[in-house]
Amino acid sequence: MAARGQYRLNPETLLYEMEKVPMRTRVGKVMLFVVLSLAIFLLYLWLYVGVLGWELPKTTILRKRNAEWQSRIEMLSRRLDACDDALEGLRLRDDEIYRNIFGMNEIGPEMRASGMGGVNRYNNLEKQGASPRLLSLVTRMDMLTKKAYVQSLSFDDVALMSRRAGDMASCIPAIPPLMTDPTTYRLSSPFGYRSDPINGTTKMHTGMDFACKPGNSVYATGDGVVETVRFELFGYGNSVMIDHGFGYKTRYAHMKSIYVTEGMKLKRGECIGETGNSGRTSGPHLHYEVFYRGNFVNPYNYMDLTMTQEEYQQMVDKAAASSPNLMIRPHQRIKL
């Protein structure tokens, strides 16, 4: 490789003469300069960061930005906490007050959280290196959005049911299933624990027993739809189950004859059959049960035994006149 030169002043001749410098020398100088510069930079970096404990300008900027984002995330977390508390309050009022008033079943936690499981919804965020705290906030936002949507649907159902509140009064089983004439029946067994009249064991009696002669007319205690009609040799014997809506159902058991069929719509006061002695009984009587939201309740709390015979007869006549079922036959009318 050819050497390159540079002009230098000759003090003897006072002339600039070319002095040839080998390429190797020039390269060595450049390398030495680079090495010395790097050493000085590293020494400066060590003194700046390691000895003095100062941060690099870029690190300071990044730390400031990170603090700002952490503050925003903390604020978002507090807002999500407030939203979660507000939704929980709405849920409690919805399940324990609004839906309870109209006999609607509660929305379970599985339904409120449905659609949140399965495939990893945040795979892209994880690939981008999102922190666990950020992933947790995103998950909470999705869950709150889902809960708010389910809650809005629930309130829509409650609003629809509230518009039917006028129908609720006629659907609640609010009258006795028999004519309110104390000379035609007696309350032989109330709701609650008792000694079984057949085997003597103590067990829960899930309804009320009206001891009476076979052939007394049995009436629907509220508007509803016949859910089941059963003819059995044991157990309830010949029985009818009526779904009144709003969480209420009633059962009439040990009947002699039944005049209704499954799916038939009934009005309060329509005759559904006659009392009898079918099934497992110790004597002729009507066993009457009231269900609310799937649980047995005391029928005594849902009937007015002080209702006069005239009022009861007027109700029966009105039900017979307005019903298309024509279940009330002339010989089944109550004799006052």
* Dist. CA 40–CA 35, nearest whole Å: 9
Task: Return the pLDDT at 13.
Answer: 74
Average pLDDT on 263-286 reads: 93
32-82 tens-digit pLDDT: 888 888 888 787 767 766 666 666 677 778 888 888 888 888 888 899 889
- Using 50, 70 and 90 to split pLDDT, how confident is the model at 334? very low
Tokens of 31: 């390398």
Name the DSSP letter for residue 8. E
Complete DSSP assignment for 73-86: HHHHHHHHHHHHHH
Task: Return the pLDDT at 145.
Answer: 87
- Geometric angle at alpha carbon 141, from 136 and 143, rounded to 5°: 95
Question: Are the CB atoms for 290 and 296 separated by under 8 Å?
Answer: yes
What number of other Cβ atoms are within 10 A of residue 111's Cβ?
Answer: 12
Task: Return the pLDDT at 50.
Answer: 67
Spelled out in words, what is the top-level CATH class assigned to the domain 172-332?
Answer: mainly beta
138-167 tens-digit pLDDT: 888 888 888 888 888 888 888 887 777 767
Average pLDDT on 252-275 reads: 95
Task: Return the pLDDT at 179.
Answer: 92
**Type of residue numbered 138:** V
Question: Are the CB atoms for 222 and 292 separated by under 8 Å?
Answer: no
- Using 50, 70 and 90 to split pLDDT, how confident is the model at 229? very high
279-303 tens-digit pLDDT: 988 889 999 999 998 899 999 998 8
Q: What's the gap between Cα 316 and its chain centre?
A: 41
Task: Return the pLDDT at 143.
Answer: 86
Task: Return the pLDDT at 117.
Answer: 57
Task: Return the pLDDT at 206.
Answer: 92
Radius of gyration (C-alpha) of the chain in whole angstroms: 44
54-58 CB contacts, 8 Å cutoff, 24+ apart: none
Tokens of 24: 């190797």
What number of other Cβ atoms are within 10 A of residue 198's Cβ?
Answer: 9
In three-state secondary structure terms, 221 is coil
Domain ranges of the chain: 4-51, 57-163, 172-332
Average pLDDT on 6-30 reads: 73
177-220 tens-digit pLDDT: 999 888 899 999 999 988 777 777 788 999 999 999 999 999 99
- Geometric angle at alpha carbon 321, from 318 and 324, rounded to 5°: 125
Task: Return the pLDDT at 115.
Answer: 59
The burial class, CB within 10 Å (0-12 / 13-18 / 19+), for 204 is exposed
- Using 50, 70 and 90 to split pLDDT, how confident is the model at 102? confident
